[in-house]
Amino acid sequence: MTLEEKIGQLCCFGWHGCTALDEQARVCVRELHAGGMIVMGRNLHDTRQKPTPDIDAVAVREMLDALQGLAKTPLLIGTDQEGGRVARFGTAPFSRQPAAADFKSTEAAYAAAYQTGLELRTVGVNANFAPVADINSNPANPVIGDRSFGATVDEVVPMVEAQVRGYAAAGMLACLKHFPGHGDTATDSHFALPTLPHSLEVMQQRELVPFQAGIAAGVPAVMTAHILFPALDAELPATMSPTILTGLLREQLGFNGLIVTDCLEMKAVAERWGTAQAALAAVKAGADMVLVCHTLERQRETYEVLLAAARSGELPATRLDEAVAHVLAAKATLSSLPYDPTLLQGVQHQAIVTTLGAEAPV
């Protein structure tokens, strides 16, 4: 790979075309050499329509095949399909699964992850930014809530383990989030920078436990949180902290997979550091892939800042090559699945949807 192509592999970008590619998608893949692209709700249906229209699965598959066709190196194509209120593929013919907090059994959690993995793969998605490993221990939390499997370690850990296994069985790259824990905050990192004032000892007994369990279960990727943890780093949020990403996640917890940032256009980091500089800090800290979901100007700036840093030596070649290796290793585990409408509407789909329906609150 050229240096320009290596830098592109660190970038996961979004675009705005609805069941179609637009100029942004073409620039991201062809000119910026993006290693990954993220599918948002806006790419699947007109989000202005109420009620939300059903998804045209055939058109989505054609769009994502065309996207892959632009890439020299196969793309990681990700999405956020947690279930409940965070489900980009949230309308028919895809299964509408309960929120994480509504699952009552590990069997159903496994089945949901397995079915989700098959549904996503058959339309061309190969990575899901799920499951949520946060413990919803703060009732005032405005962003996690029922996205979490529960308010205690004992509630969350078995569900996280079950979903990691379910996604793996379906051939889907799963990604735990939001490391090292977004559950005990009263601030939404989309809008401001939260602080979690716990000691490391408290975190080791609570926040970190589901991540340790998911890593032990073989999860291939972890997403960072834009949160300050002063006990570990008083200056930088987890996404940008060498102490947290390299020292804690890599060295102490022994995670050797792909580290992905949460979107760097979120105000928790964008307003104070700027998206591009936050991306550079994140990669230097140990992140392998930076997520910039929305704006082409910021995507281009992120790519150019990373490239300039690699050329100047500010981003060491050893760190760049390590990050690229993690991205390519993750991609090497992915495989294509032919489009199969029975995975969306067949007997297996209906059986699992019926099971999951029994999990939903009455």
Catalytic residues: 190, 262
Measured CA to CA, the distance from residue 89 to residue 218 in angstroms comes to 25
Measured CA to CA, the distance from residue 160 to residue 253 in angstroms comes to 17
Give Dmax over CA atoms of the chain in angstroms: 59
Torsional sign, CA 306, 41, 342, 169: positive
Q: Is 64 helix (H, G, I), strand (E, B) or coil?
A: helix
| SS3 letters across 107-159 | HHHHHHHHHHHHHHHHCCCCEECCCECCCCCCCCCCCCHHHCCCCCHHHHHHH
Q: Is 237 helix (H, G, I), strand (E, B) or coil?
A: coil
Instruction: Give bridge partners of residue 195 from the DSSP assignment.
Output: 228
Q: Closest Cα partner for 32 from 19, 21, 23, 41? A: 23
| Alpha carbon separation from 84 to 220, 240, 252 (Å, rounded) | 23, 29, 33
